[in-house]
Amino acid sequence: MKAITNKDLMRRANTKLVLQEIFNNEYTTRAAISRELGLNKSTVSSIYDDLKEKQLVEEVGEGEASHSGGRKPTKIRIYEQYGFTLSFDISFHNLHFMANYVNGTVIEQNEINIDGKDIHEIVELIQSTADRFVRTVVSVNGLLGICLSIHGIVDEQQKISYSPFIDYDGVSLNTLLSAAYHVPVILENESNLTAVYVRDFVMHYDSKNLIAISIHKGIGSGIIVNNQLFRGFNGRAGEVGRTLTKNEDGQLTPIEQICSEDAIIGRLNQKLGVHNLNRYSVVDGYRQGDPVVVSVINEFIEEIASLIYNSAMYFDTNAIYLGSPLMEAAPEIFDQILKTVQQLNTNSIELAQLQDSDKATLLGACSVATHHVLDLVGYPLSFADEHA
């Protein structure tokens, strides 16, 4: 076995930097990479030749010549059809999925209803979906990696230590899928992936500290500190849904038991004596001024505004992103939360609403998978925002 020398380590480090530089630009040139990284042109050209041989990069025409004249440089970029990644979000009601080329370009996004299905049936759906993409997507290397979004806690050993909505019945998703497809399989918390989406697709590392709060069946948050995902001890950071607040009876209860979307619908079903409310009928009732619905939504607004304010104080961030299908259906609820937050805080808290929060999670998963398959974990990668 050949010993690894300092020269080998330097070559690997420089290769990662060159690949990162190519990835983070729509297109660039070897001369521009040399200037940006402070590497000599021969080193950059040699690394580029290796990447081109692997079909990871492609040439896309000529750039502008320098002021001193000479040959026009060749523009280069990531070759998107080098391969593709798959992302799956296992929510309570649906299996959301997305396929992306290696540069992040979306191939397909869709969902499958999984109401009443156990984890074994869900795994079958994941595999049949993956098999379809493996058969149909044209690329050099095929499937490169998979990321799974989990509505629960994923520990440092990539094990699901807590799942309030799905019984995983001891199934090791990463072991099973990596054995089936021979690619890296990464598990990550859904809210963490939303935060990664904001960092990599929206902010492009311009805000070092940010929080993404997701309100679905539960409530969670993803935290970025110094541009790194903060997972805490055993992946438990960001579990803001367990923050205690007082319910109508004055008893302490986790906030997600009264303010998650499912909790709101459940409370209104009980108060109104019905059983068939959904997100859109709740919005209709709110807009029509139903006093019961308005009262519950106003309580939701106050509680979420307080949660946002406290989160901003805990992590000293002024950038908070809110993902909520309920607010997507009724943007005026977000407007009221924003107004309430501003009344609570004299300093500026930049509060933004995420559009299509399901897609945001999947794009965050795409980023995580891409970092792994390119061996660029820890290296900032900026993707084109698919929502733009």
H/E element, 142? none
Share of residues in the chain with pLDDT > 90 (%): 71
pLDDT at residue 237, rounded to an integer: 87
Mean pLDDT of 93-98: 95
Instruction: Give, as one character, the DSSP assignment of residue 9.
Output: H
Would you place residue 316 in the very low, low, confident or very high pLDDT band (cuts 50, 70, 90)? confident
Contact yes or no for 264/251 (Cβ under 8 A): no
Tokens describing residue 130: 């993956």
pLDDT(70) > 70:
no
Query: What span, in angstroms and rounded, lies between the C-alpha atoms of 337 and 369?
Result: 34
pLDDT at residue 368, rounded to an integer: 97
pLDDT(204) > 60:
yes
Would you place residue 129 in the very low, low, confident or very high pLDDT band (cuts 50, 70, 90)? very high
Mean per-residue pLDDT of the chain? 90
pLDDT(311) > 50:
yes
Would you place residue 350 in the very low, low, confident or very high pLDDT band (cuts 50, 70, 90)? confident
Alpha helices in 273-374 (DSSP H): 279-287, 291-315, 325-329, 331-344, 357-373
**Which residue from 81, 4, 82, 66 is spatially nearest to 34, judged by alpha carbons?**
66
pLDDT(387) > 80:
no
Other beta carbons less than 10 A from residue 138's beta carbon: 7
CATH assignment, 84-196+359-374? 3.30.420.40
Mean pLDDT of 29-39: 92
Contact yes or no for 136/355 (Cβ under 8 A): no
**Range(s) within the chain of domains with CATH label 3.30.420.40:** 84-196+359-374, 204-355
pLDDT(333) > 50:
yes
pLDDT(63) > 60:
no
pLDDT at residue 312, rounded to an integer: 87
What does the pLDDT look like over 155-173, one tens digit per residue? Answer: 888 998 988 889 999 999 9
CATH superfamily of 204-355: ATPase, nucleotide binding domain (3.30.420.40)
**Range(s) within the chain of domains with CATH label 1.10.10.10:** 6-78
Contact yes or no for 252/244 (Cβ under 8 A): yes
What does the pLDDT look like over 215-257, one tens digit per residue? Answer: 988 899 999 998 899 988 888 888 898 889 888 888 999 999 9
Task: Give the three-state DSSP class for 156.
Answer: coil
CATH assignment, 6-78? 1.10.10.10
pLDDT(270) > 70:
yes
